Amino acid sequence: MGKSSLPSIAPARRGPALLEAIGNQLQAVPPAVPSPSSVAPEITAIPVASKPAPFVLRLSSDVFRQIDASAMSRGVTMTVIIAQALKDAGFSVPDEDLVDRRKRRFR
């Protein structure tokens, strides 16, 4: 059996020789030109509705019962009652905060 011959390996380039070899290879590569289909379309800003922020309110049990009774008689949540009261007091309350968001009625 004969000894297999390995291909000769060129010594690693270092320093200026490496930079020159890389520079020569980069000059041989043509610049990339974007095709019309790869150009990203202009993005227009879409107004994003803000998510409701949680708010905890501690009330006396008497006030709680009054709000609960009012909500029950109107068929809405206590949150809707409080949001309507804030709107009536002059606060800027969006219409979507005045809508019952429950998926089904619990009462």
Three-state DSSP string of 59-82: CCHHHHHHHHHHHHHHCCCHHHHH
Contact status, residue 87 vs residue 94, Cβ threshold 8 Å: no
- Which of 16 and 59 is assigned the larger pLDDT? 59
Ramachandran quadrant class, 28 (left: phi over 0; alpha: psi -120 to 50; beta: rest): alpha
Beta-carbon contacts of 2 under 8 Å, excluding residues fewer than 6 positions away, are none
- Which of 57 and 18 is assigned the larger pLDDT? 57
Rounded to two decimals, the pTM is 0.50
Confidence of residue 40 (pLDDT cuts 50, 70, 90): low
Q: How far apart are CA 93 and CA 86, in angstroms?
A: 7
Q: Check residue 41 and report its DSSP letter.
A: P
Element (H, E) at 27: helix 16-28
| Residue 107 predicted with pLDDT over 60 | no
Contact status, residue 67 vs residue 78, Cβ threshold 8 Å: yes
Show me where the domains of the chain are located.
61-98
Q: How far apart are CA 18 and CA 38, in angstroms?
A: 34
